[in-house]
Amino acid sequence: MEAASKGADQAFWTWFAANADKLPADKVAAVNQIQAQLDKDDPDVFAEVVFDPAGNTLVLTADGKKDRFPDVKRIAAAAPKIAKWSIVAFRQRDHELMPLTMNGRALDPKLVKFTSKPNGAQLDIRVFIPDYTDGDEALGNLAFLALDHAVGEYDVETKLGGITLESLASAPPDAAPLAQLPAAVDALH
């Protein structure tokens, strides 16, 4: 199985190296092309792209599924040097939290607040989201994506323990802006 994975990893990177400079400028179309090839290697690892004139980034993500982390690491480790591209395992921290949209829903992480409580080596958090109601799966998914962008996908899965989503209307006065969550996570060390 491991030899098959390495062969599939190599086939993906051979394709990517040959096609990286031919990808469409449209981010969705580019991700669709990359994902179609990546699915042949591992359908549980997902591609995201950041286009930047200074250099593009291909992010390989497990979409928050901790059991898939070894696959993300394996595929990223097999990446060759590709001109004008950086390859990154897992969603990284964003210093500027930008509004997120998915399936017709939107969330501005700058409006999200949290409280935290240490729980051993992890941090339990309550996340307060504008317009959130229990069972709102779409807004809940955006909230977890916002957490990935705030503290990084790896830290969400390894340093955060219990995560409770609630309406912003129920936030206590001491709730902090989501932008302060990285400092709370880093204080765990």
Q: Is residue 172 part of a domain?
A: yes
**177, 126: one domain:** yes
Residue 68 lies in domain: 2-89
Residue 7: pLDDT above 90? no
Q: Is residue 95 part of a domain?
A: no
**145, 118: one domain:** yes
**pLDDT in the model for residue 189:** 67
**70, 136: one domain:** no
Please give the distance of CA 40 from its chain centroid, rounded to a whole number.
Answer: 21
User: What distance in Å separates the CA atoms of residue 166 and residue 178, rounded to the nearest whole number?
Assistant: 14
**Pairing relationship of beta strands 113-119 and 176-177 according to DSSP bridges:** antiparallel
Buried b (16+ CB within 10 A) or exposed e, 78-98: bbeebeebebbbbbbbbeebe
For the chain, first and last CA: distance in Å?
36
**pLDDT in the model for residue 41:** 86
Q: How many domains in the chain?
A: 2
Q: Is residue 119 part of a domain?
A: yes
Residue that has been written with the tokens 């994975």 in this structure: 5
User: What are phi and psi for residue 102, nearest 5 degrees?
Assistant: -160, 130
Residue that has been written with the tokens 């394709």 in this structure: 15
Distances (CA, A) of 61 to 30, 43, 115: 16, 11, 26
Q: Is residue 94 part of a domain?
A: no
**118, 150: one domain:** yes
Residue 4: pLDDT above 70? no
* Predicted confidence (pLDDT) per residue in 120-166, tens digit: 999 999 999 999 999 899 999 999 999 999 999 999 999 999 999 99
Max Cα-Cα span within the chain: 55
* Predicted confidence (pLDDT) per residue in 25-75, tens digit: 899 999 999 999 999 988 999 999 999 999 999 999 998 889 999 999 999
H-run or E-run covering 113: strand 113-119
Residue 157, classed as helix, strand or coil, is helix
Q: Is residue 15 part of a domain?
A: yes
Domain boundary among 35, 65, 89: 89
**pLDDT in the model for residue 2:** 55
Q: Is residue 146 part of a domain?
A: yes
User: What distance in Å separates the CA atoms of residue 18 and residue 42, rounded to the nearest whole number?
Assistant: 19
State the average pLDDT over residues 99-128. Answer: 94
**148, 175: one domain:** yes
**pLDDT in the model for residue 84:** 93
**24, 49: one domain:** yes
Q: Which of 65, 47, 64 is nearest to 56 (CA)?
A: 47
pLDDT band at residue 1 under the 50/70/90 scheme:
very low
**77, 143: one domain:** no
**188 in Cβ contact with 127 (< 8 Å):** no
Domain boundary among 58, 89, 120: 89
Residue 139, classed as helix, strand or coil, is helix
